[in-house]
C-alpha cells in the first residue's frame, strides 16, 4: 500500500467533509473514491431528520463515481474527527466495485489506518448479475 498520490485524495475527502450536512449528530464525514485512471470522486454525509434516510459519505462518493460511468475503485479515503471506519453498508457497497484500499484519516488529514476492503469485509455478499 503505497503513499503515492495520496495527498489529492486526502484533500478531496477533507474538502467534502467541510460540506457535510450533519445538523443532528454534528459528525461530519468526507470521502474520496479513486478509480484506476486516477480520477477522484468526493462525497460527504448528508443527514436527514428521518435518520434511516441519511447518506454516508462513502456511498455518496461511490455514487458520484458510478454516475460518471466508473465501475472500479482503487482507493477510498474517509475523513472524520473520530477516525471512524466505514459502516457495514458502506463496506458492502464498496465491495461491488472491487477491493479498494480504505484509508482512514482524521480531521487534519493524518493517516491512522489503511486496509484492503477484503480485510474489513472478509465475507462479502456476492451475486452474479443476470446475463
pTM metric for this prediction: 0.94
Residue among 11, 58, 101, 123 flagged as catalytic: 58
Query: Is 58 among the residues known to form the active site?
Result: yes
29 phi/psi in degrees, rounded to 5: -130, 140
The terminus-to-terminus CA distance of the chain in angstroms comes to 35
pLDDT digits (tens, 9 = 90+) for 83-109: 999 999 999 999 999 999 999 999 999
Average per-residue pLDDT for the chain: 95
Question: Does the domain formed by 6-120 have CATH 3.40.640.10?
Answer: no
Amino acid at each position: 500500500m503505497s503513499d503515492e498520490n495520496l495527498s489529492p485524495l486526502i484533500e478531496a475527502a477533507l474538502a467534502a467533509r467541510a460540506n457535510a450536512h450533519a445538523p443532528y449528530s454534528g459528525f461530519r464525514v468526507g470521502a474520496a473514491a479513486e478509480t484506476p485512471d486516477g480520477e477522484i470522486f468526493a462525497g460527504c454525509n448528508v443527514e436527514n431528520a428521518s435518520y434511516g434516510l441519511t447518506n454516508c459519505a462513502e456511498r455518496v462518493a461511490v455514487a458520484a463515481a458510478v454516475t460518471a460511468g466508473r465501475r472500479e475503485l482503487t482507493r477510498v479515503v474517509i475523513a472524520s474527527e473520530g477516525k471512524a471506519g466505514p459502516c457495514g453498508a458502506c463496506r458492502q457497497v464498496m465491495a461491488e466495485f472491487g477491493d479498494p484500499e480504505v484509508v482512514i484519516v482524521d480531521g487534519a488529514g493524518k493517516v491512522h489506518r489503511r486496509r484492503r476492503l477484503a480485510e474489513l469485509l472478509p465475507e462479502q455478499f456476492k451475486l452474479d448479475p443476470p446475463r
